[in-house]
Structures are given as structure tokens and as C-alpha cells.
């Protein structure tokens, strides 16, 4: 890393700590950074809070955070899915998403597959435990909204299903 990159990373860490952000991912080409801080006993920070914090951030930090935020599904797309009669399967926990039971194995489900209620859709790893996430509706998988190995938040949409 270049000295200016280290300075930028230091600014980012100080900013995240000052605003009590628990976890942050940054991907820039070959550079991948994941920062996790000890959780505080405060209320969770939402997207509106993040936007307010970015307004007061140094330019380099704001650019990095804005680029990371673009990978999040938008509220408009979620609303459109719900209005189209599609069912959203949401994460019941915070963790890491895995589409298959082991590396190199086939995915539990793919777009176009028909699933039954209770069928395993994916695994979310939380605190070294592998939690199978089951479908809460029968129907056709329309889209997987997250990628393998992605950090997942509580309530984050994972799949869209067209109910039977």
C-alpha cells in the first residue's frame, strides 16, 4: 500500500469508529478491506443515518462509502418486487451468505427452480455456525439478490419467489 492509501485508510477507520459503525466492506480492484469493530449497545444505524454521516465525511471516505453503498439493493427495487406479486425471502440473521453446502458443490437453488415451503435455499454462516435458510413459500425462484460469500444483514432480501 502507498503512504496516501494508508492515510486514507486511517481516516476511514477513525470516521467509522467516531460514528460507531460496526462493519464496513471496501472493494477497489485488487484491494479488499473488511473492517469489523466491537459492537456498541446502541441502536442500529440505517441507510438514512449513513447518508447523513457521509455528508460530513472527508471526500476520500465519502467516495469509498458511496461506492460500497451502490452494491446494496435499493428500496425502490424491493418495492417493485413486492408490487409485482413476488415474495421476498429475507435473512433471519446477520452473517455470510453461501449458495451451496460446500465450496465447489452445486447451489441449493438457481433462478427458475421450483421450491417447496421448508426447502433449503442457502446457508448463512454466523459465529462459525452454518444455518440453513429454508423457503417460507412454495413457488419459482425468480432471482437471487446476493452473491456467494457476501456479508448479509438481518432482514436483507435474499431471494425473490413467484408464489404458486
Q: What share of the chain in percent tops pLDDT 70?
A: 71
Judgement on whether residues 7 and 82 belong to the same structural domain of the protein: no
Among 69, 88, 105, which residue terminates a domain?
69
Segment (H or E) for 32: strand 31-36
Of 80 and 144, more confident: 144
The end-to-end CA distance of the chain, in Å, is 52
Say how many domains are in the chain.
2
Q: What does the pLDDT read at residue 115?
A: 94
CA dihedral (12, 13, 18, 19) positive or negative = positive
Judgement on whether residues 109 and 131 belong to the same structural domain of the protein: yes
Domain assignment of residue 104, given as a range: 75-163
pLDDT in tens, 41-65: 555 555 666 666 666 666 666 566 6
Judgement on whether residues 90 and 151 belong to the same structural domain of the protein: yes
Among 11, 39, 69, which residue terminates a domain?
69
Q: What share of the chain in percent tops pLDDT 90?
A: 39
Whether residue 127 is predicted with pLDDT greater than 80 in this model: the reply is: yes
pLDDT in tens, 12-22: 888 877 777 77
Judgement on whether residues 91 and 126 belong to the same structural domain of the protein: yes
- SS3 string, 92-161, reads CCCEEEECCCCCCCCCCCCCCCEECCCCEEEEEEECCEEEEEECCCCEEEEEECCCCCCEECCCCEEEEE
CATH number of the domain to which 101 belongs: 2.40.50.100
Among 19, 46, 69, which residue terminates a domain?
69
Judgement on whether residues 81 and 48 belong to the same structural domain of the protein: no
Judgement on whether residues 107 and 47 belong to the same structural domain of the protein: no
Of 32 and 59, more confident: 32
pLDDT in tens, 86-110: 999 999 999 999 999 988 899 999 9
At residue 164 the predicted structure's pLDDT band, cuts being 50, 70 and 90, is confident
Judgement on whether residues 48 and 81 belong to the same structural domain of the protein: no
pTM of the shown model: 0.51
Judgement on whether residues 117 and 38 belong to the same structural domain of the protein: no
Judgement on whether residues 58 and 80 belong to the same structural domain of the protein: no
Q: What does the pLDDT read at residue 124?
A: 94
Judgement on whether residues 81 and 155 belong to the same structural domain of the protein: yes
Judgement on whether residues 65 and 81 belong to the same structural domain of the protein: no
Judgement on whether residues 121 and 159 belong to the same structural domain of the protein: yes
Amino acid at each position: 500500500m502507498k503512504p496516501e492509501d494508508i492515510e486514507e485508510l486511517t481516516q476511514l477507520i477513525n470516521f467509522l469508529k467516531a460514528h460507531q459503525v460496526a462493519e464496513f466492506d471496501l472493494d477497489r480492484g485488487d484491494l479488499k478491506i473488511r473492517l469489523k469493530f466491537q459492537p456498541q449497545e446502541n441502536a442500529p444505524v440505517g441507510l438514512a443515518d449513513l447518508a447523513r454521516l457521509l455528508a460530513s465525511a472527508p471526500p476520500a471516505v465519502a467516495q469509498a462509502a458511496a461506492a460500497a453503498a451502490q452494491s446494496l439493493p435499493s428500496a425502490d427495487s424491493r418495492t417493485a418486487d413486492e408490487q409485482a406479486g413476488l415474495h421476498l425471502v429475507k435473512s433471519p440473521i446477520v452473517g455470510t451468505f453461501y449458495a451451496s453446502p460446500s465450496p465447489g458443490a452445486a447451489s441449493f437453488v438457481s433462478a427458475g427452480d421450483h421450491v417447496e415451503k421448508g426447502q433449503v435455499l442457502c446457508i448463512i454462516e454466523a459465529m462459525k455456525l452454518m444455518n440453513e435458510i429454508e423457503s417460507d413459500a412454495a413457488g419459482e425462484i425468480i432471482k437471487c439478490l446476493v452473491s456467494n460469500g457476501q456479508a448479509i444483514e438481518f432482514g436483507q432480501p435474499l431471494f425473490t419467489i413467484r408464489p404458486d
